[in-house]
Amino acid sequence: MKNYIFHGSCNNHSLYITRSFVAFVWLLLCCTVAIPKHSQAQEVPNAMPSWWFGGAVGGNLNFYRGSTHQLNAGLTPPVVFKDGFGLGLYAAPTVSYYRPKTLFGFIFQFGYDNRKGTFTEQFTDCDCPANLSTKLDYLVIEPSLRFAPFRSNFYLYAGPRLAFNWNHAFEYQLEVNPAFPGQAPTPAISGDFSEISSPLLSMQFGAGIDIPLSAPEKRTQFVLAPFVSVHPYFGQHPRQIETWNITTVRAGAALKFGLSSNNSKGVQAEKAKEEAKPLLAAVQPSNIRLAVYAPANIPVERRANETFPLRNYVFFDLGSTAIPSRYYQLKPSEVKSFKTEQLEVSSPQRPSGRSARQLDVYYHLLNILGDRMQENPKATIQLVGSSEKGAADGQLMATSVKTYLVDVWGIQPQRVGTSGRTKPVLASEQAGGTRELVRLREGDRRVSIESTSPELLMEFRSGSDAPLKPVMLQSVQEAPAESFVQFEVIDPDKQLNTWSFEVKDYLGVVQRYGPYTQKMVAVPGKRLMGNRSEGRYLISMTAVRKIGSAVKADTSVQMVQWAPDQKEQVTRYSVIYEFNNSEAILVYNDYLTQVVAANIPPNGRVYLNGYSDDIGDAQYNQQLSLSRAQDVLSILQKALRSSNRTDVTFYVVGYGEESATTPFDNNYPEERFYNRTVMIDILPAIK
């Protein structure tokens, strides 16, 4: 019989279990980074299953503590057995429910649980070794609450354990004294423990990770889920007498399957969709060309999962050091009921495709910051106020923000540093500038939230300009980017002064747009069509040369409105730029490479839509927005090539400052900052 000798105190024993559990959880977290990201992309072609069925198999590391002496009414060995160890089997069918990218779900298992082991060898008064091994078998019911702290494949779980004993056998062996090897061995004694406790009510907690095994387009999805759990000794005393207890560490894996909700509605319409081709109108002999790009089908709306960036600036009104009233400020009594997750809801839409709700989220910036600092008590921040009146005025602005965090959110003052300066590090107003100074100074009059605490910052970012961790939003995306009808003037010799166009429907109703100076304008297809499902429209475009003559062209386009299936979703990311900057994208290189590119599904479509605020020349802003989108394109293509992927189709547009398409208005500095962006819409392949 093999013996296991354990030395050390109960504290060392508990420390061993704790370290083993932490090490396994750390391994699971590493797997979260290592598993292919197409697991998240499955939500695009198919709605991922919510119900999962399968089986779990694992090994129980059973640690015996305490003592046992009287085995049953007929056998009491001459020694007391203490401590021990054993490895048993766990096997059970499993059922779980959880929705993708949500926090909570549940797991239910009912199966076989073996807690066998061998006690540490003891010696009788005659120096004869005595050994005791056990076999404890249980039928267990284990319901658990599932919690995914990062809304990813990694999860924690905990719940009760109800165990019914159906085998409680033992084997006792008294060996011969090693000093007298010639003695005849004593036969082993087998029997059953008496005074067995059943049922047992105890607890368990653990961690696991779901590793997808199926391609995203498959109807049946399979998942391998390694897990580890701890079953502490509370409530796990096998017998009603003596002090024997068992602590178990379980490690294993579950194989699960679920059925995706296939997106069948709207597939035929999606098959009919093709890449929009320009309709070039005939014009007078010239290098000037007028073009219309109209999509074959115009989506009305689409569900969007958006990673909404959280800029780390609080903008102050000129001449005031008080937090502007447009920022939501709570009372101390309201703090407990505030949670950032409450902001992640659907909301009415704006024609540009972004909802007003996003700006409401930003105006909760201080409350989001307070909530996250409460959740991360070691995190610290530095508030840097910038004021055109000088550093002292900037200090007052920073103090206003600190006072709110301390008095309302109860953040310890030592966790919030303050300072003041005349201009921010990344200033909008430049020396020698003379145009729109008031609006530029509004953007520079702000408090920057700086931190070195990674739990507060956007992943892969650090430094004074690092945005805060983004907020995840779920909304209905009205008038998505691919539904815009684009009107473009190609003017290589720069002969034009302005241009405009008219759109006439079959009833003779005319919509007029312009005049414009930028080379491209986009109009939501739904604005042109209204409530009509389809129709042919006459487009008349007129370009006026600098010498006074005009270039005219007419063409017609057929437009069809199509409502995608409600289960079709787009995944959206955003990149924010500083004023008059198209190269800040370099600091987002790791984020675009490791997060965005990794979430593009096979044969997916990616729309890169660049925007700008309305400060400066419209034509310059249009080119600036296009440059920003092309920078994003370059990084994403490079990331895909490194993975030997050439299956993705990109659509790149620079919309400039056009009010019909910009995400927000341009009334406040925060709106202008959010308009300096590239939006990345990721859609599944056309089937």
> Running along the chain, 687 residues long, what does each successive block of 10 average in pLDDT?
39 55 56 43 51 95 94 92 94 92 91 96 89 95 93 91 95 87 85 94 94 78 94 93 94 91 42 44 52 64 76 92 94 89 54 58 91 92 94 96 96 96 82 72 91 81 71 68 72 76 84 79 75 79 79 78 62 78 63 90 89 85 87 91 90 80 84 88 79
Quick check: is 2 in a domain? no
Q: Are residues 254 and 274 in the same domain?
A: no
Q: Are residues 558 and 626 in the same domain?
A: no
pTM: 0.51
> Measured between alpha carbons, how far is 44 from 569 in angstroms, rounded to an integer?
6
* 206: β partners: 157, 229
Q: Are residues 75 and 215 in the same domain?
A: yes
Quick check: is 311 in a domain? no
Q: Are residues 456 and 491 in the same domain?
A: no
- Examine the fold and report which residue of 437, 470, 503 is the final residue of a domain before the chain moves on: 470
Quick check: is 651 in a domain? yes
Q: Are residues 214 and 291 in the same domain?
A: no
Quick check: is 1 in a domain? no
Q: Are residues 549 and 586 in the same domain?
A: no
Q: Regarding beta strands 261-262 and 46-47, do their DSSP bridges make them parallel or antiparallel, or are they unpaired?
A: antiparallel
- Examine the fold and report which residue of 435, 470, 505 is the final residue of a domain before the chain moves on: 470
Quick check: is 442 in a domain? yes
Quick check: is 306 in a domain? no
Give the pair of three-digit tokens for residue 37: 């990201």
Quick check: is 115 in a domain? yes
Q: Are residues 186 and 285 in the same domain?
A: no
Q: Give the pLDDT of residue 110.
A: 96
Domain that holds residue 622: 573-687
Burial of 468 (0-12, 13-18, 19+ CB in 10 A): buried
CA angle 321, 324, 326 (to 5 degrees): 175
Q: Are residues 383 and 502 in the same domain?
A: no
- Give the chain's domain count: 4
Q: Are residues 427 and 485 in the same domain?
A: no
Quick check: is 646 in a domain? yes
Q: Are residues 196 and 106 in the same domain?
A: yes
CA angle 263, 344, 358 (to 5 degrees): 100
Q: Give the pLDDT of residue 462.
A: 63
Task: Please check whether residue 69 is in contact with residue 76, taking contact to mean a CB–CB distance below 8 angstroms.
Answer: yes
Q: Are residues 466 and 555 in the same domain?
A: no
Q: Are residues 545 and 587 in the same domain?
A: no
Q: Give the pLDDT of residue 559.
A: 76
- Examine the fold and report which residue of 512, 529, 562 is the final residue of a domain before the chain moves on: 562
- Helix %, strand %, coil % of the chain (to 5): 20, 40, 40
